[in-house]
Structure 1
Amino acid sequence: MTAMTDRFERFRALHHGDRPLFLPNAWDHASAAALVARGFTAVGTTSLGVAAAAGKPDGEAVTLEETVRLARGLSRLPALISVDIEGGFSEDPGRVAELAAELAEAGVAGVNIEDGRADGTLTAPGRQCALITAIKGAAPRLFVNARTDTYWLSGGEPPPLRVTMDRAEAYVRAGADGVFVPGLDDERVITALAGGLEAPLNILFTPGGRSFRRLADLGVRRVSCGSLLFRAAVHNAVELAWAVEHDDVALAGLPSYAETQALASAFHPAPLASGRPS
């Protein structure tokens, strides 16, 4: 077994272990490296975080360059990496296949591809299946987590179970290795999908929603953070700035300049002598 194959197999095995895979999502090298340093063996990316950090909108297929560049950098980390590729950055199966092959060659273990589109609609199941099949044809060992936005794009009215199940089953037949249903919090539906699909079910953790332990009890095999960590980081940075100005600072446990610098230097060539720390 080659090192590359082992990467794919290890990531796949995490979806079939004694407990669900918890996948925190990073938006840049530092956030991913910090998660790895904390002990997480697998890290995903968040398309919202990557897009927002670049000053671009999420879900509109405009962050291909940023996504690939980040993926190549993260592949140097001692962790299993899954990359959010939005809807594939193209409706052309051939171009999506090329992207999948490039990411797999770079050392990425999995990708997340969604059926929601920028105009707020769901792409036709057949068209989405063609993208999934193309990915598996170009990179057979790449773990394809097929996301369906039946709940996120439902307008607040939960769709019938059959709507989500039909799409999920079609994606699995097309070659998907897992199914992701963000926005789903109904225990009855979670249980039905977890027990009815021939692929591990991925649920998005949401504050105030089902706990990790409860999702595990319901049969969920992967729990993701999505953009939660990125949004929390932005919120905490703004609140800290306000607190400093208003003499209301209470800090503990923050990494030092040297520790933060080490997140990069541990996986990159030593940088040239820098100026004064900031």
Structure 2
Amino acid sequence: MNPFAALHHHPGRPLLLPNAWDHASAVALAEQGFTAIGTTSLGVAAAAGLPDGAAATRRETLRLARRLGRGRFLLSVDAESGFSDDPDEVAALAAELSALGAVGINLEDGRPDGTLAPAPLHAAKIAAVKAAAPDLFVNARTDTYWTGFDRPAPETVRRLDSYQQAGADGVFVPGLADPAAIEVLLGQLSVPLNILYTPAGPPLARLAALGVARVSLGSLLYRVALTAAVETATAIRAGATGPVAASTPGYSAVQGLYRG
């Protein structure tokens, strides 16, 4: 079992995966002891002035993977839906990411219009990726809880079963936050379950007790950073004299992230 996959198999100690959007954010997280870091497609897209989830950031995603893939941490890349509905093209992307040093890929079945891709199509992408890059950890995401299903649980199980059979190494259900529903789903899976952390949902310790294997932070860190930047600027404009936190790194510290 490769080191990244092994991080998903420590009962009671889920992998907490923070998600970076550029080199500095990734290295700063690594310096705090995070051995595995993901990317956030929203952060990558927003930083480039592009829409998320619309297959618009293939170039930016590869550029970031090229920068981060040989770092001191294990890198998992959020590749939206693979930037294509052609399984062969998605497989080629996965092989390129693997060659750049990525150890994981996140593939989602949600579409920009709020619908879901047909489960057989998403399963075909997963199978193609595993054939092209067998060492890449495929985290198969379903957006059933984000697309307005009246009863998302049965559709979630149906889709995840298909994705597991196609070779997914783990599955991801963002929007699922009810502890009872998480516990039921865990009993129906044969691969690790990834849950998206939300401030209004269960804390990390509760998710660990349930048996969740991986907890992702998604775009949360990017959104917090964006909020802090805007609040600091507006506070200074309003006349505040000390709005910057004492823990804010200085110029040399941030410059040192490049050397890292």
Q: TM-score, normalised by structure 1?
A: 0.90
1:179 maps to 171
1:22 maps to 16
Aligned AA (1:198) = S
**Separation in structure 1 between the aligned mates of residue 210 and residue 150 of structure 2, nearest angstrom:** 19
User: Does residue 130 of structure 1 match 2:124?
Assistant: yes
Alignment counterpart, residue 89 of structure 1, candidates 78, 83, 88: 83
Tell me, yes or no, if the aligned pair for 1:68 and 1:103 is still in contact at 8 Å: yes
Tell me, yes or no, if the aligned pair for 2:88 and 2:128 is still in contact at 8 Å: yes
After TM superposition, list the pairs within 5 Å mapping 1:217-256 onto structure 2.
217-248=209-240, 249-250=242-243, 251-256=245-250
Give, in angstroms, the shift of residue 63 of structure 1. Answer: 0.3
Give, in angstroms, the shift of residue 30 of structure 1. Answer: 0.6
**Separation in structure 2 between the aligned mates of residue 244 and residue 173 of structure 1, nearest angstrom:** 55
**Partner SS, residue 99 of structure 1:** helix
2:144 maps to 150
Give, in angstroms, the shift of residue 96 of structure 1. Answer: 0.5
* 5+ long unaligned stretches in structure 1: 1-7, 267-278
Give, in angstroms, the shift of residue 160 of structure 1. Answer: 4.0
User: Does residue 159 of structure 1 match 2:144?
Assistant: no
1:206 maps to 198
CA RMSD of aligned residues (A): 1.1
Alignment counterpart, residue 63 of structure 1, candidates 52, 57, 60: 57
Alignment counterpart, residue 194 of structure 1, candidates 186, 189, 214: 186
Deviations, residues 98-121 of structure 1 (Å, cap 9, x unaligned): 001111111101000000011111
After TM superposition, list the pairs within 5 Å mapping 1:108-123 onto structure 2.
108-123=102-117
Aligned AA (2:234) = W
Alignment counterpart, residue 4 of structure 2, candidates 4, 11, 30: 11
Deviations, residues 51-75 of structure 1 (Å, cap 9, x unaligned): 0000000000010000000011111
2:37 maps to 43
Aligned AA (1:193) = L
Aligned AA (1:151) = Y
**Partner SS, residue 81 of structure 2:** coil
**Separation in structure 2 between the aligned mates of residue 211 and residue 131 of structure 1, nearest angstrom:** 33
Q: TM-score, normalised by structure 2?
A: 0.96
1:276 maps to none
Give, in angstroms, the shift of residue 158 of structure 1. Answer: 5.1
Deviations, residues 207-238 of structure 1 (Å, cap 9, x unaligned): 12110000111111000000000000000000
Tell me, yes or no, if the aligned pair for 1:75 and 1:106 is still in contact at 8 Å: yes
Tell me, yes or no, if the aligned pair for 2:145 and 2:152 is still in contact at 8 Å: no
The 1:160/1:69 distance shift into structure 2, 3 A limit, reads closer
Tell me, yes or no, if the aligned pair for 1:61 and 1:89 is still in contact at 8 Å: yes
What number of residue pairs does the alignment pair up?
257
* 5+ long unaligned stretches in structure 2: none
Tell me, yes or no, if the aligned pair for 1:151 and 1:158 is still in contact at 8 Å: no
Give, in angstroms, the shift of residue 76 of structure 1. Answer: 2.5
**Separation in structure 2 between the aligned mates of residue 22 and residue 185 of structure 1, nearest angstrom:** 16
**Separation in structure 2 between the aligned mates of residue 262 and residue 159 of structure 1, nearest angstrom:** 50
Aligned AA (1:83) = V
Aligned AA (1:119) = D
Overall identity of the aligned pairs, in %: 58
